[in-house]
Amino acid sequence: MTFVNFTVETDADGIALVTWDMPNRSMNVFTEEVMQELQAIIDQVASDDAVKGAVITSGKSNFSAGADLTMLNRMTGEFARLHAEDHAKAVDFLFDVGGAMSRLFRKLETSGKPWVSAINGICMGGAFELSLACHGRVVADSDTVKIALPEVKVGIFPGAGGTQRVPRLTNTQDALQMLTSGQTLSAKKAKGMGLVHEVAAADTIVATAKSMIKNGLKPVQPWDEKGFKLPGGPVYSAAGANLWPPAIAILRRETAGNYPAAAAILKCVYEGLLVPFDTALKIELRYFVEILQTTEAAMMIRSLFVSLQELNKGARRPAGQPESKFTKIGVLGAGFMGAGIAYVTAKAGIPVVLLDRDMDAANKGKAHSEGLMDGLIKKNRATAEDKDKLLSLITPTADYADLDGCDLIVEAVFEDSEIKKAVTEKAEAVIAKDAIFASNTSTIPITSLAKNSARPKNFVGIHFFSPVDKMNLVEIILGKETEDKAVAVAIDYVRAIKKTPIVVNDTRGFYVNRCVLRYMSEAYKMLIEGIPAPMIENGAKLAGMPVGPLALTDETAVDLAQKIMKQTVRDLGEKAVDPQQLALINTMVDKHGRFGRKNGKGFYDYPAKPAKKSLWPGLKDLYKQKKPEDIDIEEIKQRLLVTIALEAARVMEEGIVTDPREADVGSILAFGFAPYTGGALSYIDGMGVAKFVKLAKTLQKKYGADFKAPKLLLDMADQGETFYTRFDPYQGSEKEAA
């Protein structure tokens, strides 16, 4: 029998080698066709007396990334369609389709023949669940190996036996850590946890797997044998009593009850370990179907799985533009941002010229990369050879002539229009006429900066976030004259350095900063109202934000907030800034010298390590404090999320962002907008636009015009629309496969 996605070859020892190698794909993924073919292969191996066992491996550089995004999307889409007609029928559909992979893997492990998985490179999600169902697992001894069950990060959980096999192979505490965090394991870590049997040289994993079968590998899983004992001990034991209560408390602390899938994992493991394995799989499927029906799963799958992959593949790249091949990038300014941009560029293997006013400044910028690589080496995530290779790609200079031959220039000098004008003119005098010039400005409109350029059609914004090496989002900003070539080159560059691009039209603050400033502003209002600072910060955490608004102000600098406010007043007039908020920031900076983390004191105090930061006690003396019992913590959570979501809606209304995928993904990657919501616009869609508008009106009555819903939202509420129907990013076309 021949297959599209697999080849099956049986050797002289009667061992079938099943090689997964999907045509026209860079990565193997589970599709309906793959699952049908795998079922036929399992039947073929089981029924052929000449076959003693099977090894499954990949014909690509990675094993598999797990489920295909289109398969998951089709499943949730079909459920939604059926649900509108008949809820019971829709749920039955989820039980049938959602449980197909679990049934397939159980069929494999009870087929009567031993199976071994030979894992190379990435092995994620359903692919690792397939491997766990095999009777043996061999992993390549390579840094490229990444093993994980990351489903919780997109609002679901390993529903094909992962929650049952992992805690039967390793101790329960480690299993819970892996499952609830989506932790990625190296080959060594997986072996240490007992999740794989052998670690072998990459070119010997198939031979090692075959040897396991030849040496008498049992075709029976440990949990199917009589007398099986759990590695972590029974649930009802002293070990269990010490594990489960704190596990529940830790999960509550980490998730604030916002992630149903994480809670479901604990329930699956707890209940599953009390019953026989087949019953445990039924328990897992019950919870899996329940989670698939949640708003959180729908929104997170869409934004953090589907949309993120589409944007990373260049969904917003202008059509018809040739793909860019970068041979040399120029970075103007070797300060913290410029040095970070040079580092990520070199890390992508692209030669970069790092220019500053003198060699001392340029060399200091290169030293930033050296420090980052030293940190990776210390953590065993890089080698001395990696460091030497990266540093060899960075050329520090003070001579503009060294920019000759650059495909792209990224300007990252001070936020001063005159300085930017000078470096633009000097660089353009050297670079080719068709080279692209990008500014990393975070506050100055690109259209105004493009006036300094002799080729405004080739001028574009590439706005990085700090620290560059850690932040995955980049805003690409279009000036009025920016042409498609510049946009395509900018997107190609962002993709080359393995970051996610979103395309934003020109405006003050672009997209991300407009939303972030609203978040901070609402916190200032709360302080002025007398809400205790700990309640503001804790309210933000309970709402799902990774960093409270006061802590975020410290990170970006309180004196920067002051500069932005004062510049806004100069540009737009005194009414553009709340005078009470400006007074608060002036008091912090001018009276108390509290600039933020950079000088060790802002809204928080930053003592020497290992002591942790703590809120500045003086905050409570700035305004008369309300009693905590008189404050509604739910309302604090709502205010912080709604103010951001309203700004995102205004940005869409103004045409600054035109694709809801970019608004959602951008809000999560840039400042961590409550990921369980799927992003700022999905927060509105998930709640229902009419319900959101009603909430905004309630907040507006109590807290003023900042909560006024824009006309766009009122229209959408009246017409029963969502952002993904009003601004359909696909315009009726089919989504691309992974």
Structural domain of 383:
329-510
pLDDT at 738 over 80: no
The first and second tokens of residue 604, run together, are 């928080």
Tell me which of 244, 272, 293 is where a domain ends: 293
Instruction: Judge whether 13 lies within some domain.
Output: yes
Instruction: Judge whether 563 lies within some domain.
Output: yes
125 and 261 part of one domain: yes
Residues 305-320: tens digit of each pLDDT:
889 999 999 999 999 9
CATH number, domain of 360, equals 3.40.50.720
The CA-atom distances, in angstroms, between 573 and each of 234, 569, 579 are: 68, 5, 11
Domain count, the chain: 3
Residues 509-532: tens digit of each pLDDT:
789 999 999 999 999 999 999 999
Instruction: Judge whether 89 lies within some domain.
Output: yes
494 and 519 part of one domain: no
pLDDT confidence tier of residue 68, bands split at 50, 70 and 90: confident
Helix (H) or strand (E) holding 401: none
Question: Which of 271-285, 554-568, 627-641 bottoms out in mean pLDDT, i.e. has the lowest?
Answer: 554-568
Instruction: Judge whether 203 lies within some domain.
Output: yes
710 and 570 part of one domain: yes
b/e burial code for range 230-267 (CB count within 10 A of at least 16 → b): bebbebeeebbeebbeebeeebeeebbebbbbbbbbbe
With contact defined as beta carbons under 8 Å apart, do 613 and 605 qualify? yes
The DSSP code sequence of 296-359 is HHHHHIIIIIIIHHHHHTTTTSPTTPPPP--S-EEEE--SHHHHHHHHHHHHTT--EEEE-SSH
44 and 130 part of one domain: yes
pLDDT at 69 over 80: no
487 and 604 part of one domain: no
Give residue 736's pLDDT.
39
Instruction: Judge whether 317 lies within some domain.
Output: no
561 and 663 part of one domain: yes
441 and 416 part of one domain: yes
Instruction: Judge whether 314 lies within some domain.
Output: no
The DSSP code sequence of 153-170 is GGT---TTTHHHHHHHHS
439 and 571 part of one domain: no
Q: Which residues are catalytic?
A: 463
| Closest by CA position to 176, among listed 102, 99, 232 | 232
Cα three-residue angle 607-608-611, rounded to 5 degrees: 70
Residues 1-10: tens digit of each pLDDT:
789 999 999 9
347 and 462 part of one domain: yes
The CA-atom distances, in angstroms, between 182 and each of 125, 149, 275 are: 9, 5, 25
Supply the pTM of this predicted model.
0.91
pLDDT confidence tier of residue 732, bands split at 50, 70 and 90: low
- Please tell me the distance from the alpha carbon of residue 427 to that of residue 403, in angstroms, as a whole number: 7
Tell me which of 293, 319, 349 is where a domain ends: 293
Residues 160-179: tens digit of each pLDDT:
999 999 999 999 999 999 99
52 and 176 part of one domain: yes
CATH number, domain of 134, equals 3.90.226.10
Residues 459-486: tens digit of each pLDDT:
999 999 989 999 999 999 999 999 999 9
79 and 159 part of one domain: yes
Residue 354: partners with Cβ closer than 8 Å, 6 or more residues away: 331, 334, 338, 339, 342, 362, 365, 366, 394, 395, 396, 397
Instruction: Judge whether 298 lies within some domain.
Output: no
CATH number, domain of 550, equals 1.10.1040.50
**The CA-based dihedral angle spanning residues 274, 279, 281, 283, taken in that order and rounded to the nearest 10 degrees:** -70
With contact defined as beta carbons under 8 Å apart, do 183 and 177 qualify? yes
402 and 263 part of one domain: no
Count other Cβ atoms within 10 Å, centred on residue 542: 17
- Please tell me the distance from the alpha carbon of residue 512 to that of residue 49, in angstroms, as a whole number: 62
Q: How many CA atoms lie within 13 A of 258 on its CB side?
A: 24
Q: How many CA atoms lie within 13 A of 559 on its CB side?
A: 13
Instruction: Judge whether 240 lies within some domain.
Output: yes
Tell me which of 510, 530, 563 is where a domain ends: 510
Give residue 446's pLDDT.
93
Give the residues across from 476 on adjacent strands: 462, 503
